[in-house]
Amino acid sequence: MAKNETHDVLIVGGGPAGASCAYWLAKAGWDVLLADKATFPREKTCGDGLTPRAVRQLCDMGLEHELEKYHPIKGLKAWGYGRCLELNWPEHPLFPNYGYVMARKDLDLMVANNAVKQGAQFKQATQALQVLTNKQSGMGGIEVNGVLFKDKNTDTTQEIRARYVVIAQGANSNLARELGCTRDRSSPMGMALRGYFLPDNDQYRSNDNGQYDWIESHLDIQDGGGKAIPGYGWIFPMDDGRLNVGVGLLTVSKRYKGFNTTKLMESFLPSVPPYWGVSKNSACDAPMGGRLQMGLSITPRVGVSHLLIGDSVGAINPFNGEGISYAFETGRMAAEVLNEALSSKSSSPFILHEYEQNLINAYEAYYKIGKAFVNLISRPEIMRVLVANGMHSNKIMEEVLTVMANLLDPIKTGPAEFIYKLLSSATNLIGTPAH
């Protein structure tokens, strides 16, 4: 076993959540160790779409100039029932009106390197095996004070200790499971699959329709038998000439348990508009899939000396399956509370509980409505009526996009805020139906 080391904060997982937490803590002057089982750059199965919410966090971390090298995306092109609408990202006092598509291999390396530049240490090929706890603490709960790791290069183990431990391992956290965290099964769980395609020509980049300026979403996807599915298909154009093409299923219904997203992808591909040049021949690799834990569905979120962020706490937005921005945001929120805890002389076992309260204040009301929305669209007939009617109005769908991407204006009371209030009243009236 290698020599032990001790830090102020140990963060397990160097994705967007962990790297953002490391950046903000290092900026505040703390000794932070970020550990990841992978060696970066590494692939991460994702749609690679960055919304204005994610761009805002990247800019706050000083990465604006890095982003300027990429082609900005001005909104979402939505297809449904033979109609196509171009929905601009809204003007907003806090968020920019553009997004990007950036391979996670590059994005995650950029954000982790940025944390290192700020002073965080980054240990790679370092796999967390189990938590280390202080059984003598008498602090009214398990006090996590480190993690046992395996160095994947040397196959040796090492104990790394810290005053606080942050779990940022993504959707499948062995440490969270070990600490008794479970998923609320009434919360929606998404499934998504993405593949990279390299079309023969990049006609879509140069043509007058400006396909390259939009991420594209198909809201009327069907399974092989022609049945409407509560989800969407996407085509996101990347700077390197590849297209990220995928399908996502957003549902709570048990009816979709074991649903085959590979088959859904197979039935989606022939319906992709020909201007993209997507075909089986232009596929770069076999599609990869993953789970989307949504609506803050993992609890407990905080312990005496540890907390969960990003996908590990189920932070994905149930309305649209977006998780990168919420990983950045929850990482930052955790860093703020840890900064206070590290600066404080208090030894209260509840010192990190403010983080949980901050999560609730930031997301709970909105996610409650998101969950009700997913419940609603889990019934294909309702999904069909909503999309088929919505697709008649660019204006309405632009407002719906604002709600679904959580880009509501905190001060203004425009149509999007009105739609949100309506959904909120309906949710309170109906409650979250059983499924």
Ligand X SMILES: Cc1cc2nc3c(=O)[nH]c(=O)nc-3n(C[C@H](O)[C@H](O)[C@H](O)COP(=O)(O)OP(=O)(O)OC[C@H]3O[C@@H](n4cnc5c(N)ncnc54)[C@H](O)[C@@H]3O)c2cc1C
Smallest separation, CB 291 to ligand X (Å): 7
Identified binder of ligand X from the candidate list 8, 9, 11, 13, rule CB under 6 A: 13
Give the residue closest to ligand X by C-beta. Answer: 323
- 52 binding ligand X? (CB under 6 A): no
Q: Which residue lies nearer to ligand X by CB, 242 or 351?
A: 242
- 303 binding ligand X? (CB under 6 A): no
Q: Which residue lies nearer to ligand X by CB, 16 or 295?
A: 16
- 323 binding ligand X? (CB under 6 A): yes
In the structure encoding, which two tokens stand for residue 135, read together? 């059984």
Identified binder of ligand X from the candidate list 10, 25, 33, 47, rule CB under 6 A: 47
Q: Which residue lies nearer to ligand X by CB, 35 or 307?
A: 35
- 306 binding ligand X? (CB under 6 A): no
Identified binder of ligand X from the candidate list 16, 75, 80, 303, rule CB under 6 A: 16
Identified binder of ligand X from the candidate list 194, 218, 301, 306, rule CB under 6 A: 194
- 308 binding ligand X? (CB under 6 A): no
Identified binder of ligand X from the candidate list 66, 143, 216, 311, rule CB under 6 A: 311
Smallest separation, CB 373 to ligand X (Å): 18
- 17 binding ligand X? (CB under 6 A): yes
Q: Which residue lies nearer to ligand X by CB, 13 or 52?
A: 13
- 61 binding ligand X? (CB under 6 A): no
Smallest separation, CB 368 to ligand X (Å): 19
- 131 binding ligand X? (CB under 6 A): no
Residues 264-293 touching ligand X, rule: CB under 6 A, are: 290, 292
- 44 binding ligand X? (CB under 6 A): yes
Q: List residues binding ligand X (CB under 6 A).
A: 12-18, 35-38, 44-49, 127-128, 168-170, 174, 192-194, 246, 290, 292, 310-312, 316, 322-325, 327
